[in-house]
Structure 1
Amino acid sequence: MDSLLLSKGIFPETFLRKTVDYILSVQQDNGCIPWFVGGKADPWDHTEAAMGLSIAGECEAAEKAYQWLQQAQLADGSWYANYQDGEPLYCEKRETNFVAYVATGVWHHYLISQNRGFLLRVWPMVEKAMEFVLRNQAPTGEVYWAVSEEGAPLRDALITGCSSVYKSLECAVNIATVLDQDKAAWRTGYHRLGKTLRHHPECFDRTWESKERYSMDWFYPILAGVYRGSEAKSRIQERWETFVKKDMGCLCVSDEPWVTVAESCELTMALLAAGERTKAISLYGWLHQWRDGDDGGYWTGYQYVENIIWPEEKTTWTAGAILLAADAITEHTPAARLFLENNLLPEAQVAQAAREVRA
């Protein structure tokens, strides 16, 4: 079995170079990063792949990816769920966590590049995206999972989606703070969402079957910073045996024999955030048997009962997740701890002064 055991300060740059090149080989001239050549693109997974490029120092390609998002953004700040060759595949809904994730990617890139000019260029995009998201925050704090083609909120919420939005709100607030933008309402939305995720499970999965069979519902609240410390460790322990298949990875859902590489990478980072470093390094070490040695891409998943790679796709977002987890373990870049800790910057002095003047 192929394995890769990492430690702090030793980023496997040579080993992962092909993986970076795989993402670059799929990226289109306009900056869009589809799942694979000829495949669809979606805003969330496109951003995940771009974050992998930032980690590798491919800053020009990463910024080109955000430029594509900026050009494709709709007037209300959102994006369609999927695109093919620059056109939306369907327009029935737009998902709030897909829209919010651009802030996580932009902040991640800024932490690495320290390129304030880039931050200024993409600020209008981030601002419109987060205003769209917060327009769809319920009075009880959760963020509705999507809007219809007409823009009406679909009034239910997902734990995984809202956890992702929670981290994106943290990143958006930090972008606004660095740029001295007064976004106190974003801070309020962030704290409201965190409180609902922690204390009000009744606000989620109200109109459909519970999503607790999905591993992401288990670990995403840790990855996003909803739980830390002893609470995070307890949450990991509760369902470790349910979701983790030794020597293979993390299951996507508890009732199917299918381990998926991207979820395993995200769980790796959640384990680091929970202080479970030994488990994180072991889990990440299992994943490289699913790597194509020829082009450096990683297969999306493995069905271990039938002993088959399924689906037969090497997705760019899986490659991005591999790079994010490697960075988190080795602390290779200044963005390595983004998912390992909450780091909400203090309010900008300009914003505080503006409120004092208005008062």
Structure 2
Amino acid sequence: MATALNESVKVQEKSPNILQAINLALTDAMSDDSRVLVLGEDVGDPEGGGIVGITKGLETRFGNRVRSTPISEQAIVGAAIGAAIRGWRPVAEIMLMNFTTVAMDMIVNHAAKLRFMSGGQTSVPITIRTMTGAGRGSGGQHCDYLEAWFAHTAGMKVVAPSNPADAYGLLRSAIDDPDPVLFIENMPSYRAAAWGRSIAPGERVPLGKGLVVREGRDLTIVSYSRMVVEALAAAETLVSQGVEAEVIDLRTVSPWDRELVVASVQQTRRLMIVHEAVTPFGVGAEIAATVGHALFGSLKAPIERIGSAYCPVPFSKPLETAFAPSQGRIVEVAKAMVAS
């Protein structure tokens, strides 16, 4: 019998939010390792620590290991790659995820491939922090989830935390990793009420390991980033209708935890994948194909994928709300799956 909410995902009153957790992770990483440096547009203290203040206080404490850069994504990523090759562990901030496209050559053809091209002699231990997410009325060039682009690139890891403790632990692991990691932050979640485990200073959350954040017997819902919160809310609504949903937070998009997901679906025999990226050609397609192959013939219902509408993110608030997946849509699809 499923628990209403696992102990690990209860709301943590007075705990740091995701914004504060990321700042704490950067502070601890820079304190523990003098090779860690931070660079990006306006990340220094005179500029306020970035557009939302995530790096506030770091320059005052760590001096020139925090560098505000020109407005040039290619310069930011290029400098980070050069520093990494010279032995540093740079954390580069790209102000919005859509702007990673300006530096795609640097990220995909250089950072992701240098270990391979050098026969294993050169690693590029950079972490690229970037932020995105619909819900702020920022329009089509500022809110896209592009994780599938980078997950498709061999040599890259892609991380998307949903709660403060994971944001802290995954960022610490990303900074430690010898290869490039794209760390995706959901802007509407920065100051949301903290939930999940309490932050344990120094803790590393292993990359590539998901977590069952709610147990259930009737279907498995797989998600990451802000959509985990929507999935958990939907699961609570479904309880009153006699449906027990198991919710898995992938935490790392690439590599993703195949074993955990397949084991869960073996028990529930139904799978739904929810992400904020548009549905076509997304991460959900990879997960659906993998599970469909592994469990061919044993599923009780077709695998369902829920994502955003296949269009640019609308500026209009009503259209933006309709664009992204919602708790109501998850409930509707889940009920149809269990009834089939």
Note whether the superposition's TM-score is higher than 0.5. Answer: no
Give TM-score scaled by structure 1 length. 0.27
- In proportion to residue count, which structure has more strand? 2
Give TM-score scaled by structure 2 length. 0.28
- In proportion to residue count, which structure has more helix? 1
